[in-house]
Chain A
Amino acid sequence: MSCAEVLEAVARGRLDDQTVVNHLSVCPDCRARSDSAQLLGRHLSDPVMWEDPSPDLVERVVGAIGAETGQEDRRPSRWRILGAAAAIVAVVAAGAVWGTRPDWTIELAPGPAAPEAGGIVKGWNRAHGTRMVLEVWGLDPADEDSYYEVWLTAPDGRHVSAGTFRDSGRFEVVAGVRRADFPRIWVTLEPTDDDPGPTSQTVLDLPNA
């Protein structure tokens, strides 16, 4: 039996095999490596070693990075001015499907500026913020000089933008704040200007906001 065969046998747990015992008794190299061989065997027998991530995960990774790289070009000018992007991690038109059950789901009611609109937000509380998937319907496409903007607002009135979109649909947005601290989620119609705050044109809001 060669050294490699002995170490393979050790990794497979055949420590009582007389051939293995005999070899180890006369081979200091294999004796020195037998603990590591057993460790390797344990790893190779571990189900975790043989699990693969979901096949679609690569596209989610590419999409998440692409959303950040593309954001520089697509972001309205006022984002560059305000640096408010510190609070925004990513905005991407979503086909994203999160494999996990959301931590919370809320329904958005129509605001004064869009009485036919509606929406549902599913949220995942993350270590560094909040991921949300919005389903929005009943909104007219924004014209060239405007866009819809998703806001998270704290009880003390601080606003953080979670992203922008231009039409009804499904969107994934990621905000760098926690929903527990910024409980109000709402959507406004914004002109393309340098005003950092939300306008009064609310199109979607929490039902009792």
Chain B
Amino acid sequence: MDRFRRGDHEAVRELYGLYSRPVFAIALRSLGDRALAEEVVQQTFLNAWRAASRFDPELDPAPWLYAIARRVAVDVYRRERRHREGRREETDMAVLPPSFEGLWELWEVRAAVDGLPEDEREVIEATFYRQLTHTEAAAELGIPLGTVKSRSHRAFQRLAGFLDHLGTETA
């Protein structure tokens, strides 16, 4: 964090590598637009760098970055809505849409998925997101059916460690 605070490019890349995808995920979920989500990612890391001197390096940076990212996403959402509807800023305190709910949970799952070994991640992606059966995934990935099953099982065991956290998010 000290290196990040100094603007060390490699430290910026390291922090970005760890957290850019969860930031992007919650921004895309809340705003529904890739370009705006990328704007949120950039502004989040810039704001984090500006505030880094006030961050305790002993703490986990994830909740801190999440809070910054969510705030930036809210700002972007309100700006876009003002732009779209021609609203004035002072009338813009309406309740946020449902897309802003459950974002911390999404962040945690995305971080957990990013933490999977690549071979396990691709099996989870094939079988959950693309809804392939294990047999179809084996053909698609060019690996034996038993390997798909074992990788899927190992991956889910890792992800299951997050199960107890899910459903308690309040952000």
Question: Residues of A with Cβ closer than 8 Å to B?
Answer: 4-5, 7-8, 11-12, 33, 35-37, 39-41, 43-54, 57-58, 60-62, 64-66, 68-69, 99-100, 103, 125-128
In B118-151, the 8 Å CB interface with A consists of: 124-125, 127-129, 131
> Considering residues A40, A46, A99, which has the most beta carbons from chain B within 10 angstroms of its beta carbon?
A40
Bound CA–CA A122/B127 (angstroms) = 44
Interface of A is mostly: helix
Please, which residue of chain A has its CB at the minimum distance from the CB of B113?
A49
Instruction: Check: B66 CB closer than 8 A to any chain A CB.
Output: no
Known contacts A4-B153, A37-B163; A53/B129 CB under 8 A: no
Report yes or no: A43 in contact with B105, Cβ–Cβ below 8 A.
Answer: yes
Bound CA–CA A41/B128 (angstroms) = 7
Report yes or no: B105 in contact with A68, Cβ–Cβ below 8 A.
Answer: no
Question: Residues of B with Cβ closer than 8 Å to A?
Answer: 6-7, 9, 12-13, 16-17, 20-21, 24-25, 28-29, 34-39, 41-42, 45-46, 49-50, 72, 75-76, 78-79, 83, 105-106, 109-110, 113, 124-125, 127-129, 131, 152-153, 156-157, 159-160, 162-164, 166-167
Known contacts A44-B128, A65-B46; A39/B105 CB under 8 A: yes
23 pairs, CB–CB < 8 Å, chain A vs chain B: A4-B156, A7-B156, A7-B160, A11-B128, A12-B128, A33-B163, A37-B160, A40-B109, A40-B159, A44-B124, A44-B129, A44-B159, A45-B128, A47-B129, A49-B109, A58-B13, A58-B16, A58-B17, A62-B13, A68-B49, A69-B7, A127-B76, A128-B75
CB-CB < 8 A to A39: which residues of B? 105, 166-167
Report yes or no: A57 in contact with B38, Cβ–Cβ below 8 A.
Answer: yes
Q: Smallest Cβ distance from A157 to chain B, in angstroms?
A: 23
Interface of B is mostly: helix
CB-CB < 8 A to A69: which residues of B? 6-7
Please, which residue of chain B has its CB at the minimum distance from the CB of A5?
B153
> Considering residues A57, A64, A100, which has the most beta carbons from chain B within 10 angstroms of its beta carbon?
A57
Please, which residue of chain B has its CB at the minimum distance from the CB of A131?
B39
Which residue of the partner chain, among A4, A35, A61, contacts B46 with CB atoms under 8 Å? Answer: A61
Q: Smallest Cβ distance from A117 to chain B, in angstroms?
A: 31
Bound CA–CA A62/B117 (angstroms) = 27
Please, which residue of chain B has its CB at the minimum distance from the CB of A53?
B24
Report yes or no: A50 in contact with B38, Cβ–Cβ below 8 A.
Answer: no
CB-CB < 8 A to A7: which residues of B? 156, 160, 163
Bound CA–CA A68/B6 (angstroms) = 11
Report yes or no: B129 in contact with A50, Cβ–Cβ below 8 A.
Answer: yes
Bound CA–CA A53/B72 (angstroms) = 16
CB-CB < 8 A to B72: which residues of A? 127
Bound CA–CA A12/B164 (angstroms) = 17
Which residue of the partner chain, among B7, B25, B46, B166, contacts A40 with CB atoms under 8 Å? Answer: B166
